[in-house]
Amino acid sequence: MRDLNIEGPPPIQNAVREVPPTEFGELVDEGAVTVIDTREPGAFASSHVYGSLNIWLDGMSFFPGWALEDDEPVALVTERPLDVKVARMYLGRLGFDDVKAHLCGGIPEWRNKGKPFAQQKTCSIDTLKKAIDRAAVNVLDVRDAPEWKQGYLKGAENLFVGHLKYRFEDISRDKPLAIHCSWGGALALPQAFYRDSEL
């Protein structure tokens, strides 16, 4: 920190390299990057690059600090090309300067090229309530403590999203898992996470 304070940080590359799906897929397959998808959670749930993190654009000023390690290389998937500049700015302010690439054409182009994609089931609050009433689901509330104290779903467990990667083993897997956050929707984790995928 002393050297950074005296000399200033290294220059940040403003432009992020736009790459086509094939090259982007190679970066993913090699494990060379962590993919951050900045679209809204509903769009992310419908289809996304396998293994990517969903940090919607408005959350990019805060959540990467919880999700990324120092100097972790990143690649971006965005809704619009202009979102790349905003995401890059937020990452730079948090000290994440190694943004390797962004996906040209976004998820529509990824899918058009026949690239594999993952999905997550979403459900309405009414569907979730019925599942809770039947004791057919575990609910994980990933909001922070002040939000949790304002109110939570019956039977939910609270584990802040920033702690998830360190505490996966603490999450119950005996029933399907619904994740609740301040976004307002309910996301069900992929089937591989649990035994019974029906809510």
Domains of the chain: residue spans and CATH? 2-112 (3.40.250.10), 121-193 (3.40.250.10)
Strand partners, 118: 48
CA distance 188 to 199: 8
Give me the pLDDT at residue 193, please: 41
Summarised one tens digit per residue, pLDDT across range 139-158 is: 999 999 999 999 988 889 99
pLDDT of the residue at 116: 94
pLDDT score, position 154: 85
Cα–Cα nearest to 53, from 72, 70, 35: 35
Confidence at residue 12, expressed as pLDDT on a 0 to 100 scale: 59
Of 36, 67, 31, nearest to 54 (Cα)? Answer: 36
- For residue 9, the model assigns a pLDDT of 61
Residue 170 has a pLDDT of 87
**Per-residue pLDDT, 4:** 62
Q: Are 188 and 177 in contact (CB under 8 A)?
A: yes
Question: For residues 79 and 52, what is the distance between their CA atoms, to the nearest angstrom?
Answer: 14
What DSSP state is assigned to residue 134? T
DSSP per-residue codes, 174-199: SS-EEEE-TTS-EEEPPGGGSS----
Q: What pLDDT sits at residue 192? A: 41
Gap between the Cα atoms of 128 and 145, Å rounded:
22
Q: What is the pLDDT of residue 198?
A: 42
DSSP state of 39: S
Between CA 149 and CA 186 the distance in angstroms is: 19
Rounded-to-integer distance, Cα 25 and Cα 143, Å: 32
Return the pLDDT at 73: 96
pLDDT the model gives residue 11: 60
Rounded to an integer, what is the distance from CA 84 to the centroid of its chain?
Answer: 16
> What pLDDT is recorded for position 1?
58
Strand runs (DSSP E) across the chain, as ranges?
18-19, 34-37, 53-54, 74-77, 99-103, 121-123, 138-141, 157-158, 177-180, 186-188
By the 8 A CB rule, do 78 and 107 touch? no
pLDDT under 70: residue ranges of the chain: 1, 4, 8-14, 183-199
60-75 per-position pLDDT tens digit = 999 999 999 988 999 9
Label residue 78 exposed, middle or buried (CB < 10 Å: 0-12, 13-18, 19+).
Answer: buried
